[in-house]
Amino acid sequence: MDFNFQTNIKKYAELAVKVGLNLQPGQKLIVQSLRNGGVPIQTAPFIRELVASAYQIGSPLVEVQWRDDDLILSRLKYAPKDSFGEYPTYLADGILEVIESGGAILTIAAIDPDLLAGQNPVVLDQMQRAYLDAWKPISAHIGKNAMNWSLLSIPVTGWAAKVFPDLPEGEQIPAFWDALFKICRVYEEDPIAAWESHLKNLQKRSDYLNQKAYRELHYRAPGTDLKLTLPEDHIWRSAGFKTQSGLPFTANIPTEEVFTLPDRRFTEGTVRSTRPLVYTGNVIDKFTLTFKEGKVVDFSAEQGENFLESLITTDEGAGMLGEVALVPNSSPISQSGLLFYNTLLDENASCHLALGSAYRFSLAGGENMTGETFKELGGNNSLVHSDFMIGSGELDIDGVLRGGEVEPLFRSGEWAF
């Protein structure tokens, strides 16, 4: 580990604490990855920097929930078959106690996507349900931005092997860190200042789009001719959020998108994907979707067509759109050309749409309306929310104003305003 690497992980840790969380003096912090059983112990060199940074800001207590992959595999191998509904609920209760008393929460995305490959799906489903049940009250706090929260990726062995299959084993993790540092602007002279100006730019873009309140978006690219309708009260957002008490924070690093919801009922035309989509660990690539009156009526894929079909037919909402996001083709993730098998990283690569549920906060007053009202106003509900990339250097997007005038939003994959 050379000196530069140590400096860079320190900068990355500071980004998470200062820009991601905007952790305040006196605020406790939980660092967790409850979905996957904890933060992998192999990430300890990075986590130590992170914890130091949090204490330096003035946090009175930082708690990290650890895991070891072998312990998870051991449970799957030896624990009684009827025991996978068991869950250490005190972990979720502990997190809840901290956030309800004003603490912040950092979620670490760091898992080998193939860790659980070949395991009994029924057992995995039971484990997932037990986690989701325990996580529900925390998820409700996150959904309301009751406190500052953020999401951050850290390379681990199996994951790095998946992203860099052609590199020798010893070079995969360093290559992953190098990619992350580039994508997250860690190599900038002053990464925090770089992020402040990047976030300001995203905010400016979403303010502009909100003020225009386009009625329709028209996408054109090779294989794509698609019209989306935006609900009257749609709100364009970026990952720059505010807590209920007004503290700004950034929900994830990196973030490149400005996004809202389309009216699920009116999508018309055909769209072609430009990057692979990873769905439940499977790759779906080079696919085309055709929409009529909001619904997917035709689809094909060169790879993973059966997975695409199972995604679209999950439930009624899965065959309709729930998100539209704008990301310039020059984004650092797109330029990296890498597939990360991870939504946080992959969805920030380029312009995308999502099949499935829409975010309530994309619609004015959406958080406080019933599911029925949200649907009546064009929102989509589904068990899935699956982002797929449609951006490229050949994508043009027009915005159609309420009065019918047409304005360029994207030209050759870049912002046109």
Sites of contact with Zn ion (CB under 5 A): 257, 259, 323, 325, 347, 354, 387
Instruction: Please answer whether residues 50 and 32 qualify as being in contact, where contact means their C-beta atoms are separated by less than 8 angstroms.
Output: no
The contacts found for 72-75 with CB under 8 angstroms, 24 or more apart, are 72/37, 72/115, 72/116, 73/115
Measure the CA dihedral 117/120/121/122, to 10°. Answer: -160
- Asked if 34 and 91 touch (Cβ cutoff 8 Å), the reply is yes
The nearest distance, CB 387 to Zn ion, in angstroms, is 4
**Residue with Cβ nearer Zn ion (127 or 345):** 345
Q: Position 218: which residue type?
A: H
Query: For Zn ion, which residue has the nearest CB?
Result: 325
Question: By C-alpha distance, which of 149, 133, 203 is closest to 20?
Answer: 149
- CB nearer to Zn ion: pick between 257 and 346: 257
Nearer to Zn ion by Cβ, of 121 and 143: the residue is 143
Instruction: Please say which residue, 308 or 354, places its beta carbon nearer to Zn ion.
Output: 354
CB of 354 to Zn ion, least distance (A): 4
| Closest approach of Zn ion to the CB of residue 352, in Å | 6
Find, among 312, 311, 209, the residue nearest to 259 by Cα: 209
* CB nearer Zn ion, residue 112 or residue 387: 387
Choice between 41 and 384, CB closer to Zn ion: 384
* Alpha carbons 164 and 49: distance in angstroms, whole number: 25
Indicate the residue among 58 and 281 with the shorter CB distance to Zn ion: 281
- CB 12, min distance to Zn ion, A: 22
Q: Which is nearer to Zn ion, 18 or 237 (CB)?
A: 237
> Cβ of residue 238: shortest distance to Zn ion, in angstroms?
10
378, 373, 142, 122: CA torsion to nearest 10: -80
Contact 390, 351 (CB under 8 A): yes
Q: What is the smallest separation between the CB atom of 257 and Zn ion, expressed in angstroms?
A: 5
Give the shortest CB-227-to-Zn ion separation in angstroms: 20
Q: Rounded distance, CA 208 to CA 318, Å? A: 30
Q: What is each CA distance from 14 to 19, 22, 37, 49, in whole angstroms?
A: 8, 10, 25, 8
Beta strands per DSSP E along 115-242: 149-153, 216-221, 224-229, 240-242
- CB of residue 202 vs Zn ion: minimum separation in angstroms? 12
Nearest Cα neighbor of 339 from 392, 283, 390 is: 283
